[in-house]
Structure 1
Amino acid sequence: MSSIDEIWNRLDTAMETALSEPLVAKFTSEPQRAARLGVDTAGIHFDFAKTHLDAGVVDAFCGLADAAEFDTWREKLLTGSEINLTETRAATHTAERGTGNAADVAAARDARETMKALYGRVADGAFGAIDRVIHIGIGGSFLGPALLIDALPKTGPVPDVRIVSNIDAVALERTLQGADPDRTLVVTVSKSFTTLETMMNMESCLAALEEMGGTAVRSRLVAVTAAPDKAEGFGVDPQNILPFAETVGGRYSLWTGVSLAAALALGWDAFEDVLAGAAAMDRHFAEAPLGKNAPALGAMMDLGYSSLVGAESRAVFAYDERLRLLPDFLQQLETESNGKRVDRNGRPLTRASSPIVWGGVGTDAQHAVFQMLHQGTHLVPTEFLAVVAPGHGLGGEHHRQLLANCIAQGAALMRGRSYDEAMNDAGDSAMAQAKTFEGGRPSSTILLDRLDARTLGALIAFYEHRTFSFGAFLGINSFDQMGVELGKEVARTIAGGDLGDLDASSRDLLSRAGIS
């Protein structure tokens, strides 16, 4: 048996031992549990105390970290060394906020100055009076900027930013409603500048603005891409092209010119603050010991439940309307990064990889899916996010109730309600069974002091490093996404009229849809 197998066996044993004691009882047997499994950094408190991460499990994961050369791979990430082995390149998104090798950091700084200059040209009227920006992208080219724009105050020069991602032209048509074609800036974001959905939406958007009577519409086109030559070949003015590094993956790209539209909506200082918050989390991730390292502890929790216990999903609920897009962002970040079947050397995994990530907004979700979380037959580790300072001026009672609901859900999932307690309330056995909750259901809570550009940047960087840590523990490459390509390849073939060896069901559906 290899040493890594022995460590996984040790982890299995440690988790089995942790599961043998009721979660609620752990606070009695370990009075300092909340302090031990709490981490405070960058204006955020992370609470992992309502999980099964007891001292034995954390210690076993530290053993796995040694065997998986976690420190080495973390250093590769943070110094810009080659870490994406299938594509033979580094992953340099941390260089965008100042952590990496000197060349990458300098290149990122230069690119940000170019972005700032273009931002200034828009603000100063070089494109005319702009009152709407249409941002066109998909995947990482829209989820990150969309999250920033939705979460933070719009105090920039063009607060009206509309985002189009879906190739369904209904989305584009809605985005164009009410636009003045001579006062609209189009920002197209595509790493390759070949992404089918993005390129089709861009061309349709430009054509629609021209049909609406716009003049010199294409002079107000900005391209953000790692392939600036392709953008220039399309006809984009070179001074309106923002390049970013090929080594920055799409789902890690909001730190680059990809967020030009977000900066225009929020203001340049806010964008710089997002980067500063992420840099603070980078320092924490690099320096904190694993037992007090928020991203590493988050990954231990995720891996413990998915690979040791068999939980197939993880739920994320933001008890703040401003973070309503976070579950969508995390769904791509985590499942595209770690939804893999082989390790970085091509060997089949023997443990489950990324759980299914899903979620919603509290308190809406309480009236939809929490029945399943409390009494269903699936074990779903749950994460709650909340903000101490309210994001509105409508009085304190709204926020008090919001926070009370958030904290109560985690407490109730853990504590449950016994049959005897239910009998006291119900009066008969059948009703008591319906009102019995087994409890012991794990949750973590992330509590931000306030939601501003710095804490949001730190929060997103936390999730990036948590995702990396999960992959590093499993020995997988979190920075490729080969699984994204297969369906796109088949779609291109079908759209081109080549049905080849397509199955009978798909041929029938194409016929019924009228596209074959």
Structure 2
Amino acid sequence: MSELPYTSHYPNSLPIWDKLKDHQTKLKQIHLRDEFAKDPDRAKRFFKQAAGIYLDYSKNLITDETIELLSELANEAGLPEAITAMFNGEKINNSEERPALHVALRNQSSTAFEVDGENVMPEVKAALNQMERFVWSIHSAQWRGYTNKRFTDVVHLGIGGSYLGPKVVSAALKPYWKAGINLHYVANIDGTHITEELKHLSPETTLFIIASKSFGTQETIMNAKSAKAWFLRNGGEEEDVHKHFVAITANTQKAYNFGIREENIFPMWDWVGGRYSLWSTIGLPIALTIGIENFKNLLAGAHEMDEHFRTAPITENIPAILGLLGVWYSNFFNADSHAILPYDHYLRALPAHIQQLDMESNGKTVTHKGEPVEWSTGPIIWGGAGANGQHAYHQLLHQGTHFLPADFIMPLRTHNHIGDHHALLLSNCLSQSQALMQGKTLDEAKAELKAQGRTDEQIEELAPHKVIPGNRPSNTMLFEKATPKTIGALIAMYEHKVFVQGVIWSINSFDQWGVELGKELGEHIYEIITGAKETNGQDSSTKNLIDLFKQINNRI
């Protein structure tokens, strides 16, 4: 297993680690409302802009010294070297001996990106050209279904990164959808999902995309087989399958055996992880809905953020700042959770994508060397669309016992101008971050109750319930409008943030052996359920539950 220069450190053994501990002891005595009161320039100093993203990180428990110390941590942990290694195509996924070169997929320059000494850019551009030809053939109705009708619906069959990435982007860019094409996603192996999606579709006008690197992913292939059976059951013939099914896979033979023609099989590469793959041919459903030019703009926005990440000094580098703040809270404030709160209906799927991106990447208990970590790694990522959450889980953010940083995300301009809706939405977004920061003191609560005409007895009884601690950190990320370029930059920003944290924690952010174990055991249990294998060797709990399933479904 290869070793890179930046992977040999233990963060809690670095000289800067104890300095940060001492600094945190001092900082936990301060209150953010006081910091803002005494420093009118605080918001300007802790504000950065890049690739169309505006980051206000002034509502964090930080001072100028904090940023200096965190920057020193990044340097001691080898972050600059790690960034160079990633862009150079080095095998930073050391447990699988692979590069993590998703940045090559959105490369808009003449720069070569090499894997094992070979420039991959010709392959990347060829795949993009293949996508372009395919999208044109669908939009121009040159490619039609088996009854010569043009396609009206696209069903994307995938799971994990083959599903969440395309889904969040296509939803975020709904205003750019081409007329006449409806997009559907099926990921869940629960038969209800595909049943409900197919209920209102016609096999004559439906195109299926099967996205599986191995063309063997259990959930995806089961759904593909069910889709094919539905197609054949409702008028299609075996010789028509190639007109309605295409594949994105590295296993050309299996896709061909399914009935897909070779020219309709789009490539995937080992040096692109699933959760980083929306920029590749996995983005085909995005391109079909928003058009190839808008898809290229999506790549351009991500590339602009890539260049910012690659070249900007750490203290000016948005992904680096966000990653270091995450380390600051996880390792020095014991925060085990982080909320993603998009104030944009089109971005409602973003928390789920960031959840996979972050938790699958940094949910690790061993270092690059395979030794147990002695520090916290990836936090629990969760969230939902604002302002809905304000009437639900925001209560815990404001008055709960958990220390929980949050990201507020919102476009400054809307695609749908209706009265003052957007101004009210922004006011909700800003007021929530403000309330988390400043809170409400006991004296303020008492004054408020007194102004309402409450008695002294009532004030003493009710005031403690209205106290809001405040001093709870958040970032605010704004962009002018949700365009392909800004959405590309936003998602690339989070990708790089996750990488930064993995570097600091000395873990591999690009493998997912826990996921692989679940797949292996799932396949084995499926074989037991279907009678292909005996239940020998199963623990008593799993065996009893399998037997119960068989009994209820008359499989015994």
Q: How far 1:340 sits from its partner (Å)? A: 0.5
Match of 2:32 in 1: 23
Distance 2:337 2:218 in 1: 30
Amino acid at match of 1:222: V
Q: Does 2:162 correspond to 1:141?
A: yes
Match of 1:402 in 2: 425
Q: How far 1:323 sits from its partner (Å)? A: 0.4
- Structure 2 counterpart of 1:414, from 437, 441, 462: 437
Moved more, 336-345 or 418-427: 418-427
- Checking the alignment, whether the CA contact within 8 Å between 2:151 and 2:181 is kept in structure 1 is no
- Checking the alignment, whether the CA contact within 8 Å between 1:15 and 1:52 is kept in structure 2 is no
- Structure 1 counterpart of 2:58, from 26, 49, 54: 49
Q: How far 1:29 sits from its partner (Å)? A: 4.2
Q: How far 1:464 sits from its partner (Å)? A: 0.5
Match of 2:77 in 1: 68
Q: How far 1:228 sits from its partner (Å)? A: 2.5
Distance 1:493 1:155 in 2: 41
- Structure 1 counterpart of 2:113, from 101, 108, 111: 101
- Checking the alignment, whether the CA contact within 8 Å between 2:210 and 2:220 is kept in structure 1 is yes
Runs of 4+ in 1 over 4 A off after TM superposition: none
- Structure 2 counterpart of 1:172, from 174, 182, 194: 194
- Checking the alignment, whether the CA contact within 8 Å between 1:181 and 1:217 is kept in structure 2 is no
SS at match of 2:92: strand
- TM-score, normalized by length of structure 2? 0.89
- Structure 2 counterpart of 1:256, from 272, 280, 305: 280
Q: How far 1:218 sits from its partner (Å)? A: 3.7
Match of 2:470 in 1: 439
Match of 1:363 in 2: 387
Q: How far 1:4 sits from its partner (Å)? A: 3.4
SS at match of 2:28: helix
Q: How far 1:109 sits from its partner (Å)? A: 1.3
Match of 1:120 in 2: 136
Q: Size of the alignment, in residue pairs? A: 515
Amino acid at match of 2:159: I
Distance 1:109 1:14 in 2: 49
Distance 1:434 1:88 in 2: 55
- Checking the alignment, whether the CA contact within 8 Å between 2:61 and 2:471 is kept in structure 1 is no
- Checking the alignment, whether the CA contact within 8 Å between 1:383 and 1:445 is kept in structure 2 is yes
Amino acid at match of 2:274: G
Q: How far 1:104 sits from its partner (Å)? A: 2.3
* 1:386-405 superposed Cα distances (whole Å, 9 cap, x missing partner): 1100121322x111110000
- Checking the alignment, whether the CA contact within 8 Å between 2:241 and 2:260 is kept in structure 1 is no
Q: Does 2:185 correspond to 1:163?
A: yes
Distance 1:383 1:373 in 2: 12
Distance 2:345 2:512 in 1: 30
- Checking the alignment, whether the CA contact within 8 Å between 2:439 and 2:469 is kept in structure 1 is yes
Q: How far 1:105 sits from its partner (Å)? A: 2.5
* 1:58-87 superposed Cα distances (whole Å, 9 cap, x missing partner): 222222222221111101111212111000
Looking at CA atoms only, which structure, 1 or 2, has the larger radius of gyration? 2
Distance 1:194 1:164 in 2: 16
1:7-406 equivalences in 2 (<5 Å): 7-98=16-107, 101=113, 103-128=119-144, 129-152=150-173, 153-156=175-178, 159-215=181-237, 216-395=240-419, 397-406=420-429
Distance 1:481 1:176 in 2: 32
* 1:25-65 superposed Cα distances (whole Å, 9 cap, x missing partner): 22244433212221111111011110123222222222222
Q: How far 1:367 sits from its partner (Å)? A: 0.5
Match of 2:511 in 1: 480
Q: Label 1:485 to 1:16 Cα distance change in 2 as closer, same or farther (>3 A).
A: same
Q: How far 1:431 sits from its partner (Å)? A: 0.7
Distance 1:101 1:313 in 2: 36
Q: How far 1:100 sits from its partner (Å)? A: 5.7
Q: How far 1:155 sits from its partner (Å)? A: 3.4
Q: Does 2:485 correspond to 1:454?
A: yes
Amino acid at match of 1:84: N
Distance 1:214 1:30 in 2: 70
Distance 2:170 2:290 in 1: 7
Q: Label 1:76 to 1:157 Cα distance change in 2 as closer, same or farther (>3 A).
A: farther
SS at match of 1:361: coil
- Checking the alignment, whether the CA contact within 8 Å between 1:115 and 1:260 is kept in structure 2 is yes
Match of 2:538 in 1: 502
* 1:178-237 superposed Cα distances (whole Å, 9 cap, x missing partner): 212121111000111110000000010011011111241343211001333332343320
Distance 2:21 2:180 in 1: 54
Amino acid at match of 2:168: L
- Checking the alignment, whether the CA contact within 8 Å between 2:414 and 2:481 is kept in structure 1 is yes
Match of 2:3 in 1: none
Distance 2:25 2:40 in 1: 21
- Structure 1's unaligned 5+ residue stretches are none
- Checking the alignment, whether the CA contact within 8 Å between 1:130 and 1:185 is kept in structure 2 is yes
Amino acid at match of 2:93: N
- Checking the alignment, whether the CA contact within 8 Å between 1:93 and 1:248 is kept in structure 2 is yes
* 1:447-492 superposed Cα distances (whole Å, 9 cap, x missing partner): 1111110000000100011111111111111110111012222222
Distance 2:325 2:234 in 1: 53
- Checking the alignment, whether the CA contact within 8 Å between 2:48 and 2:318 is kept in structure 1 is yes
Distance 2:424 2:417 in 1: 15
Q: Label 1:12 to 1:499 Cα distance change in 2 as closer, same or farther (>3 A).
A: farther
Q: How far 1:159 sits from its partner (Å)? A: 2.4
Moved more, 323-332 or 144-153: 144-153
Match of 1:470 in 2: 501
- Checking the alignment, whether the CA contact within 8 Å between 1:92 and 1:100 is kept in structure 2 is no
Distance 1:313 1:100 in 2: 39
- Checking the alignment, whether the CA contact within 8 Å between 2:241 and 2:259 is kept in structure 1 is no
Moved more, 59-68 or 78-87: 59-68
Q: Label 1:89 to 1:157 Cα distance change in 2 as closer, same or farther (>3 A).
A: farther
Amino acid at match of 1:6: P
Q: Does 2:465 correspond to 1:429?
A: no
Distance 2:282 2:180 in 1: 16
Amino acid at match of 1:122: I
Distance 1:493 1:16 in 2: 50
Distance 2:425 2:536 in 1: 55
